[in-house]
Amino acid sequence: MNQALLKKLNDPVRPDFAMAKRVIAVGDVHGQFDLLRDLVENQIKFDPDSDVLVFLGDYIDRGKSAEDEIATLNYLIDLHNANPGKIALLRGNHEQMAINSITDADSEESHWLWKHNGSRLYSISDLAFRSDLVRFCQSLPLYIEDQWVFVHAGAYPNILLEKQPERVLLWDRTENNYGYFGKRLIVGHTPNQTIEKNEQIVYVDTGAFYYGRLSAYDPKNDAEYSSRRSTQPLPQ
């Protein structure tokens, strides 16, 4: 491939959830650039005058190609930079795997974990790109708390977010039906064929890389959106 270029993410501006007419959380993208664009532009029809989008992490790995994963990142960066205070990008466990692999050159476990979890970017040796990727991933917060709690994987129900183990926020798949101090958790990470929800937690990840469906959920209006490849059958 040609020289890989990753754009620079501007400093984030905290969204004003109270003023937004729609607050839409987007599940794990995993480099599915075509689904991402269709979801944002045609299904959600994102309007920066009235909407806030919260992306729940896992933008990389398991894409069709490294080019698609880079296009996914640059699309999200452009969207974020063009709409201050309207786009929030959270970190997922796959972004954390990239950080660990690149920054800990001597850790065979970190290299193996990233490489064997669908990384298309692992083989890019360009030092400038790898440095830019780490900088991007490290800039992503682990959660956003407001009327709801947006986090990639999960959270313990009665421990302050800032005191929770990183592995819980990024990796937890515990059936957490208790919410977080009475607030509803909005999470990705755990793929289902459809959005799964109850009063305490909403699982937004619908397996973009596996089922060919990328979904989003608006807790403010209890609305669902999705983009799906009609040619990709659901597994039996």
Full set of structural domains in the chain with CATH: 22-228 (3.60.21.10)
Cα-flanking dihedrals φ and ψ of residue 198, to 5°?
Answer: -145, -170
pLDDT tier at 145, thresholds 50, 70, 90: very high
3-state secondary structure of 215: strand
> Do residues 141 and 56 touch, judged by C-beta distance below 8 A?
no
**Residue 60, amino acid:** I
Say if residue 219's pLDDT is above 60. Answer: yes
Radius of gyration of the chain (CA): 17
| 39 vs 232, residue with greater confidence | 39
> Do residues 39 and 24 touch, judged by C-beta distance below 8 A?
no
Question: Which pLDDT tens digit goes with each residue over 40-85?
Answer: 999 999 999 999 999 999 999 999 999 999 999 999 999 999 999 9
Say if residue 234's pLDDT is above 80. Answer: no
> Do residues 155 and 185 touch, judged by C-beta distance below 8 A?
yes
Say if residue 126's pLDDT is above 70. Answer: yes
Question: Which pLDDT tens digit goes with each residue over 146-164?
Answer: 999 999 999 999 999 999 9
pTM: predicted TM-score of the whole model, two decimal places: 0.95
